[in-house]
Chain A
Amino acid sequence: MRHDTRIAVGPVQFRIGSDWARPIAALNRLYASYPQDPERPADATVRLFAARPWRRWLRPSVQIGGDFTVPDALPLPLAMGLLAAEMGMNLQVALGWRRHLLLHASAVEKDGRAVILSGVSGSGKSTLAALLGETGWRLMSDEFTLIAPDSGDALAFPRAVSLKNEAIAEMAARVDPARLGPLLAGTPKGDIRHLIPRPDAIAAMHDPARPALILFPRFGGAAAAVEPMGEGEAFVRLTEASTNYTALGEAGFAALTRLVRETPAFALSYPDSATGLALVDRLWAEAGR
């Protein structure tokens, strides 16, 4: 490929190639502070390419490919190349990674213990994790949390946080502007802007944490509500949040069973971020120890 770069996030070494210089330059700015080992072979390859030769110049559009591809995925305009790269990286991990149980969840850590936040897109899990990451917690992940089958530990995957819509202004008010990527307006997922995690979160990306709380946040509703969740329901919800639970077979079942047996779980709904943060702190004080 004409342009390429390498990025290591948590245990995964990516190689990203592109027909255009811009997405690679944008990635390099976003991931400049991440540790680099140029000698390390890549676990996963992402390709950003023009689906038809003329699409390199004429209304250029980025097709997302790599080791794994989604057959009918629509290309994105070149201006959203950074989003295409992010989707490509997520795709490779979601479909290719087998070393750990993958949960579609964000996570934060304090004192070596992790709070795992699982929920569908729009549940506010990324925003909550990003906010917690600015208030005394280590941000582990905003998209994937990895569970090691042998130890039961949670592992971090601290890629740049993908802030969406209202969350952009909320975070921009709190962080150094140098930690924000370019605004990608009007993407299929709404407005997107990336947030570079704090340097300590990047430096600690290989440090595992013991799962202490599993939360299923839901943004919206008039009042705050907290509902303890049984092991069975947490188990079923997390199988749905995992992209490789089936592929891991018995090891996946054992890891997930252990996780829900050893970790208290709660569903919480919250009308605004401040309430959400307060709920997490309260649950941490009551049940997370």
Chain B
Amino acid sequence: MSAVRALVDLLAGRRDAASLAPREWDGVISVARAEALLGTLSVRLEGAALPAPVAALFADQRAAAEIAQRQALWEAEMARRALAEDAEFVLLKGTAYAAAGLSCARGRQIGDLDILVPWHDIGRAENELLEGGWEWVKPDPYDDAYYRDHMHELPPLIHKARDRMIDVHHTILPRTHRKTPDPLALVADAVPTTSGFAVLCPIDMACHCAAHMLADGDLQGGLRNLWDFHCLAGDFVAADAGFWGRLDARAAKHGLRVEVRRAARLARDLYGTTLPSGWDRHDPGDRWYRRRLLARDNWGGASDFLLQQAFYIRSHWLRMPPAMLARHLWTKWRRR
């Protein structure tokens, strides 16, 4: 069995860790690292029967993930202090999951700090962050202008002392994207966490997770995003039996019904998410997504080159209209 399949089955709880031969762990660990899921796997298999070296490695990963999470929340606190007191901002993705204490946060690797700020506040937020010690990462004027004119976020900023990146979003998909979710609704309906941060409300969080995975980018790191979706759905259904219905209506409002439905089906197929009857259908197109999500060889390397390229092209196709795409590729190609 392939290592990436074994990883997915272990996460889903379909396979007993004790059934792996010692050397099968080689591939599982490499693939989990490549997919940023090693911390998640080590939490999922805490207490399972594991070979001693694997148990020791997983204990390291759990401890490291806990520290990394504390550091990520500290970074959010730093942003809060840098931004004006009355500024509204909403945590997104990994930091939001950690701040809200959601189950996918356990062991989860958190990269940059992602925040959402209303469009009318974006200039002010940028100034305050620059005064607070963040600096622009991309000195290239084309890239800078590209971010400002077409993207859903500011050019990335990095803190000069702590060396941590912040992505300041004003919406959740590029401005030129075919799908245009409603950013005002995202901010207006955000909910507070016990630690005093704001995060997206459950249905928006699930919409963002699906949009991020399926509409923005080429599905790289998709297994991790899909695990987030699987866990979010589990957490939110447990708290609210009407979650799926509300999610459907919200996805329709944001124009993300296709993405949310597909995310749900993929989560069911790979991680065993329980779906309500209306959602539980089969779409022949899903198999390409499943193949793309599982495109890792037993050494953690990318496999299925053509499919990866196809998804890469698709991501650009979704992100900008054809004429603009041509201009963009031409500019990028000329400066190679």
Contacts and interface: CB of A to CB of B under 8 A. Distances in A.
Contacts of A17: 299
A43 interface: yes
A248 B30 CA distance: 21
B97 to A, nearest CB: 20
Interface in B20-37: 22-23, 25-26, 29-30, 33-34
A249 B23 contact: no
B61 to A, nearest CB: 7
B61 A42 contact: no
B67 interface: yes
Interface of B: 22-23, 25-26, 29-30, 33-34, 51, 53-54, 56-57, 60-61, 63-64, 67-68, 70-71, 299-301
A251 B67 CA distance: 9
Contacts of A1: 299
B30 A40 contact: no
Interface string A18-53: 000000000000000000001111110101010000
A273 interface: no
Contacts of B56: 99
Contact of B300 (A40, A45, A99, A247): A45
A45 B60 contact: no
A249 B70 contact: yes
Nearest to B70: A249
Contact of B64 (A38, A49, A247, A250): A247
A217 interface: no
Which 6 A-B pairs have CB atoms at the shortest separation, nearest pair first? Answer: A41-B25, A249-B67, A98-B60, A67-B33, A98-B64, A45-B30
A43 B56 CA distance: 10
A276 B205 CA distance: 61
B43 to A, nearest CB: 15
A41 B29 contact: yes
Contacts, number: 64
A15 B22 CA distance: 13
Nearest to B20: A41
Contact of B71 (A42, A47, A96, A249): A249
A42 B31 CA distance: 12
Main SS of the interface on chain A?
Answer: loop
Contacts of A68: 33
A211 interface: no
Given A17-B299, A248-B64, A249-B71, 20 more contacts: A1-B299, A13-B53, A15-B26, A38-B23, A39-B23, A40-B51, A41-B25, A41-B26, A41-B29, A43-B29, A43-B53, A45-B29, A47-B299, A47-B300, A47-B301, A67-B30, A97-B60, A99-B56, A99-B60, A249-B67
B29 A42 contact: yes
B211 to A, nearest CB: 26
A5 to B, nearest CB: 12
Contacts of B26: 15, 41-42, 45
Contacts of B23: 38-39, 41
A66 interface: yes
Contacts of A38: 23
Nearest to B61: A98
Interface in A39-75: 39-43, 45, 47, 49, 65-68
B21 to A, nearest CB: 9
A256 to B, nearest CB: 15
A41 B64 contact: no
B253 to A, nearest CB: 39
A40 B118 CA distance: 52
B71 A40 contact: no
B53 A248 contact: no
21 contacts: A13-B53, A39-B23, A41-B22, A41-B53, A43-B53, A43-B57, A45-B30, A45-B33, A45-B299, A45-B300, A49-B301, A65-B301, A66-B300, A67-B34, A67-B300, A97-B60, A247-B64, A247-B67, A247-B68, A248-B64, A250-B67
